[in-house]
Amino acid sequence: MVALIEGLALRKPRLSVAAIHQRITAVAEGKGWPVPSYDSVYSIIRALDPAMVTLAQDGPAAYWDRFELIHRPRTIASNALCQADHALLDTMILDANGKPEAPSHCRTEQ
């Protein structure tokens, strides 16, 4: 019964909890099973992993946007993609008197 509820909750288009409960009630009555309460159906649906629900309902692109921690480009062959960060960092060093100053290669000429 739990697997059936989860399966209905992951179907596309998205069904409301009430619609899922109605379908589960019909199945349970048809098979002679005890009918679960609305609260039981609701708690099973709420316990589903949000990432799995997003993947099932909205597709892989929405899943990547919401749940992937970093962007990992996919390539066909090794070494097909190279990335580097060339951002300049503000660097200060201490001179002989203990005062901070920019290194000579970082100073802007005026």
For 2-67, the fitting CATH number among 1.10.510, 1.10.3470, 1.10.10, 1.20.120 is 1.10.10
Q: What are 1-39's pLDDT values in tens digits?
A: 999 999 999 999 999 999 999 999 999 999 999 999 999
DSSP 89: -
Domain limits, the chain: 2-67
Name residue, tokens 């069904």: 15
Instruction: Kindly give the residue spans of alpha helices, DSSP state H, lying in 1-110.
Output: 2-9, 17-31, 38-46, 50-58, 60-67
Q: Is 84 left (phi over 0), alpha (psi -120 to 50) or beta?
A: beta
Coil, strand, or helix at residue 98? Answer: coil
Per-residue model confidence as pLDDT tens digits over 37-86: 999 999 999 999 999 999 999 998 888 888 876 666 677 777 777 666 77
- The pTM is what? 0.59
* Omega cis (within 30) before 73: no
